[in-house]
Structure 1
Amino acid sequence: MRIVPTLSWALVETDETLDARLLPLLGAIRAKGSLAAAVAELGLSYRAAWGLLRNFQRMLGAPLVELEVGRGARLAPAGEKLLAGHRAAAQRLERILPALAVELGSRAGRGLPAARLTVTASHDLVLAALRDALPAAAGLSLDLAFMGSLHALQQFAEGRTDLAGFHVPFGVHAAGELAPFRRLLRARRDRLIRVVDRDQGFMLPRGNPSRVHGFRDLVRKRLRFVNRQRGSGTRLLIDRLIADEGLEASSLIGYANEEFTHPAVAATVASGAADAGFGLRAAAAEYGLTFVPRVRERYYLAVRASALAMPAVLRLIEVLRGSIFARIAGTLPGYRREGAGTVVGVEALDA
């Protein structure tokens, strides 16, 4: 049996629940720039959509949508904040779903596909999309739990998962910077499967009004930053870049304000709760943010050498090399899949 939690919103003062159709409507208006196009996509009547907007604008005391003759529709600041908050909360909820599915599967002993791999991994949009596409397209299931890179590798080192996803920036050769990863891997025991190369950088309000190009700009202009959680690969990268600029982490406003996924960081910036974040180009694009690239990195899946003969692992490697994965990676900006599915030794981290 599979149990799926859902996310809903209610007003604190009245305990009145928001209609489940409201947030999809706001998302469609944002994407289409037209109320008519939004209702057509959702299968709502124009009258029903107007009723939803009027009702909840009255409840919230602020306009959610701005309509202009000849210019279509766009979200008002309150609508943007509500939609961004919902997306951030949904991303946080998504982090616990794989762990819940594993727990139920272990207790019930049924309901999960036979060809199944457990994966602990640093958050990645392509990997999440692959998980969703695999069962129907390839007869393979990934029980995927997102967490920090080091936590994922720790789970792998302890034999608690089949694969562990982590990422390392190009040009990182210093022993001290690779040490956290190398400490949890064994050259004879483990192998690495290449997944993607991806871009990370600053996620900023559209147009980069504060002209941010480095962490020094954030400090000098006293801009609010939203960080990634301690132990994540992106947090390690952020700390290295801050040190490279000769700054103290404590000098950044918001350094202690942490989120657990790239979309959650982007949503925080899009909502106006922060002036800058750091993460994936694809997450910035999803939220209509300006992206300033800083680093290209390689994402790997660690696997036991002895597991490379497992049918499920062989099937995963085949998928990474094939059209399913090419189609997924091709839809997200900032990703390159050349070499996906290539198996290399741990020493590749030093290359």
Structure 2
Amino acid sequence: MDNEKSLTAVEVAELLKITKNTVYELVKRGELPGYKVGKKLRIDKEDVENYINNQKITINSVNKTSITKNESMQNEQLNEMKKLESPNDIIISGQDIILDVLAENIREKVSDIRVLRSNIGSYASLYDLYYDKISISSAHLWDGDTNEYNTAYVRKLLPGIPCLIINLAYRNVGFYVAKGNPHKINTWRDLTSQNISMVNREKGSGIRILLDEKLRLNNIDREKIKGYSIEKQSHSAVARSIARGEGDVAIGNEKVARQVDGIDFVQLQEERYDLVIRQSDLKYPIYKLIIETIQSEGFKKEIESLGGYDLKDIGKILAKT
């Protein structure tokens, strides 16, 4: 097939000066022949020209308001044609290595869709998911009022958007301290000691939100914590800062603590690490493939080999919002 004679839905829309949705509707009604190349809708240029000529012949017998009516059709009626086209890119957002392994697994199974990574914190990831900047978000956001992870934040940050919350793992989180914990840092209130300085995580990260929620519930003034405004962008970065003596305490997960020499880990609680997918995206096969991959025994064994994760609920749908 000569590519110059084959047009996309967008190109046809530009030629006819209509919306892409109207092109889908014309194909659906059989007024404009269309076909798929892989997962993409294509229309021959010759068929577009024939359609234009037919409209010239029958213009007097056609209701001139039909296109306007077509464009006002409910989204529900257009969804079937939209399924002809899958997304070109899938962007998985979050900072854990589990997501890198997931992306690699999906890349091995698909060739026509790019699987990309965005390394930003949980809060910002959910925000980006709401604004369609990414495809899938990870989250480990603790809500102090419910003592639960993620569900409340997904409902608040993606209002009116039904989502699946799928578990990836559980991780221990706690304080990173110097070897031997010389300052005896064991509780949240210990952070206010004048003898210690902390290294914080950036706003929007799950650990930063955990800290701020704990400070709120314990009526601790953040301004009394030395180093509260010093921010690093990852668990590894804050752990290395403590190892270098740039601060006395930071907060992160146990897995990273075991990878950095010169620090000890003081466990505080177990956190839940989930994946958030919009239910409306399940019409695309790629999203179903991602869920099937997470639920597979092979993926579970691969994550087990990394160590440091509790995988008791991996792949389970824990909530629908």
Pick closer, same or farther for the CA change 1:301–1:241 going to 2, 3 Å: same
Residue of 268, 272, 276 corresponding to 1:294: 268
Amino acid at match of 2:91: T
- Contact 1:150–1:181 (8 Å) recurs in 2: no
Alignment match, 1:253 = 226
Matches within 5 A, 1:1-351: 116-121=89-94, 123-132=95-104, 134-136=106-108, 138-139=109-110, 142-169=115-142, 173=146, 180-186=153-159, 189-220=162-193, 222-288=195-261, 289-347=263-321
Alignment match, 1:45 = none
Q: TM-score, normalised by structure 2?
A: 0.64
Q: How far is 1:151 from its partner?
A: 1.2
CA deviation string 1:71-111 (max 9, x = no partner): xxxxxxxxxxxxxxxxxxxxxxxxxxxxxxxxxxxxxxxxx
CA deviation string 1:159-210 (max 9, x = no partner): 22211111134885179x9755422224663222221111111111222222
C-alpha separation in 1, matches of 2:267 and 2:246: 22
CA deviation string 1:267-311 (max 9, x = no partner): 111122111110111111110331111121212221121222422
Pick closer, same or farther for the CA change 1:256–1:117 going to 2, 3 Å: same
Deviating 4+ runs (over 3 angstroms): 128-136, 138-142, 168-172, 177-181, 331-334, 344-347
Q: How far is 1:118 from its partner?
A: 0.9
C-alpha separation in 2, matches of 1:290 and 1:145: 30
Q: How far is 1:323 from its partner?
A: 3.7
Alignment match, 1:110 = none
- Contact 1:115–1:312 (8 Å) recurs in 2: no
Pick closer, same or farther for the CA change 1:209–1:332 going to 2, 3 Å: farther
C-alpha separation in 2, matches of 1:172 and 1:209: 33
Gaps in structure 1 of 5+ consecutive residues: 1-113
Pick closer, same or farther for the CA change 1:344–1:260 going to 2, 3 Å: same
Pick closer, same or farther for the CA change 1:170–1:180 going to 2, 3 Å: closer
Residues paired across the two proteins, number? 231
Q: How far is 1:312 from its partner?
A: 1.8
**Structure of larger gyration radius:** 2
Q: How far is 1:321 from its partner?
A: 1.8
C-alpha separation in 1, matches of 2:110 and 2:259: 29
Larger CA deviation: 123-132 vs 268-277: 123-132
Q: Secondary structure at the match of 2:313?
A: coil
- Contact 2:171–2:271 (8 Å) recurs in 1: yes
C-alpha separation in 2, matches of 1:226 and 1:322: 38
Q: How far is 1:158 from its partner?
A: 1.2
- Contact 1:204–1:269 (8 Å) recurs in 2: yes
C-alpha separation in 1, matches of 2:164 and 2:302: 24
